[in-house]
């Protein structure tokens, strides 16, 4: 167990535990806060995988953007004054069974597959490389995503306005 492994297990624990609480806590606002920890944990895992840029993007976009959006969604669709911010669960038993089965099988098949597994050196800085890929090989995809975001923005605004 070196320090890398310890940090990995730490982040893994944060991620999985907080994700578990996200889906089980009754209070939606608590769920959102647990989701914050999940995102932090995932960002930590990205850093462990040498993806520093993605980790920062994860923090900015998810924590700064999507999570806030979700919280807005909670606020706008619940009557906060009535304290009816709790939300129950349904069909727990069939879901738990199904998901457990599913997880088991997927994990089994993933662990048994012979993946190409080459230990490469940790990339030092990824930002420049990603930037080059974005404006060279993936230029078209990148532009299309820009258009998609614009369309999503306009679409969301016009839908929410109706």
Partner 1 sequence: MQVGLNHFLVISTALFSLGIFGIVTRRNAVMVLMGIELILNSANINFIAFARFGNFGLQGQVMALFVIILAAAEAAIALAIVLNIYKTFSTVNVDEIDTLKD
Partner 2 sequence: MTEPLMINLALMILLLPLLGFVVSLFLGKRIKAIYIFELFIIILTFAGAVTLAFVKLNYYQNTDIVSQFTWINFGNIPLLGQTNIDLGILIDNIAVLMIFVVTLISMLVHIFSIAYMKGDKLYNRYFAYLGIFTFSMTGIVFTHNMLMIYIFWELVGLSSYLLIGFWFEKKSASDAGKKAFIVNRVGDLGMLAGILILYTTYHTFTFSQIFAQISAGHLPFNSEFWLTVTGILIFCGAIGKSAQFPLHVWLPDAMEGPTPVSALIHAATMVAAGVFLIVRVYPLLTSGALLFIAIIGMLSAFIPATIALTQNDIKKVLAYSTISQLGYMVMGLGVGAYKFAFFHLITHAFFKALLFLGSGSVIHAMHHEQDITKMGGLRKKMPLTYATFLIASLAISGIPLTSGFLSKDGILQGSFAFGSLTGYWIFGFVGFLVALLTAFYMFRLLILTFHGKPRDQHKYDHAHESSFSMAMPLVVLAALSIFIWYTPNPFNPEQGAILTNWIKAPQLVTPQDTRYNFMKSDVPSGSVIKTVPENSEIMYSENYTEALHQAHIPAMLLSLVLAGLGILIAFIFYQWKKVDVDKLTNSIKPLYNLSYNKWYFDEMYDAIFVGGTLMLSRFLSWFDLTIIDGIVNGSASLTRALSIFTGKFDNVVVDGFVNFVAYLSGFVGLIFRRFQTGKVQTYIVFVVFSIVILLFIFK
Interface with partner 2 by CB under 8 A: which residues?
A: 90-91, 94-95, 98-99, 101-102, 105-106, 109, 128, 136
For residue 90, the minimal CB distance to partner 2 (Å) is: 7
For residue 125, the minimal CB distance to partner 2 (Å) is: 12
Contact between 50 and partner 1 by CB under 8 A: the answer reads: yes
DSSP per-residue string spanning 92-116: HHHHHHHHHHHHHHHHHHHHHS---
87 binds, among partner 1, partner 2, none (CB under 5 to 8 A by kind): partner 1
136 binds, among partner 1, partner 2, none (CB under 5 to 8 A by kind): partner 2
Tokens representing 144 are: 């299309």
Distance CA 21, CA 29 (A): 12
Contact between 97 and partner 1 by CB under 8 A: the answer reads: no
Site for partner 1 in 20-39 (CB under 8 A): 20, 22-23, 28, 31-32, 35, 38-39
Query: Of 97 and 152, which has the nearer Cβ to partner 2?
Result: 97
Exactly one of 30, 37, 57, 63 binds partner 1 (CB under 8 A); which one? 57
Q: What are phi and psi of 49, to 5 degrees?
A: -85, 5
Contact between 95 and partner 1 by CB under 8 A: the answer reads: yes
Tokens representing 133 are: 């890929």
Angle at 16 between CA 12 and CA 20, to 5 degrees: 170
Distance CA 97, CA 53 (A): 38
Decide: 59 and 40 in contact? Cβ < 8 Å. yes
């Amino acid at each position: 167990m070196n320090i890398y492994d310890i940090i990995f297990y730490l982040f893994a624990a944060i991620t999985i535990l907080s994700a578990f609480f996200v889906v089980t806590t009754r209070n939606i606002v608590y769920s959102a806060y647990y989701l914050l920890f999940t995102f932090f944990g995932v960002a930590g895992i990205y850093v462990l995988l040498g993806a520093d840029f993605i980790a920062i993007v994860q923090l900015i976009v998810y924590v700064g953007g999507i999570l806030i959006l979700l919280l807005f969604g909670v606020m706008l669709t619940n009557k906060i004054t009535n304290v009816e911010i709790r939300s129950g669960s349904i069909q727990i038993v069939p879901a738990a069974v199904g998901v457990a089965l599913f997880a088991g099988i997927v994990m089994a098949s993933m662990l048994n597959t012979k993946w190409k597994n080459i230990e490469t050196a940790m990339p030092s800085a990824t930002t420049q490389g990603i930037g080059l890929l974005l404006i060279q090989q993936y230029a078209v995809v990148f532009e299309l995503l820009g258009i998609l975001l614009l369309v999503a923005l306009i679409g969301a605004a016009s839908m929410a306005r109706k």
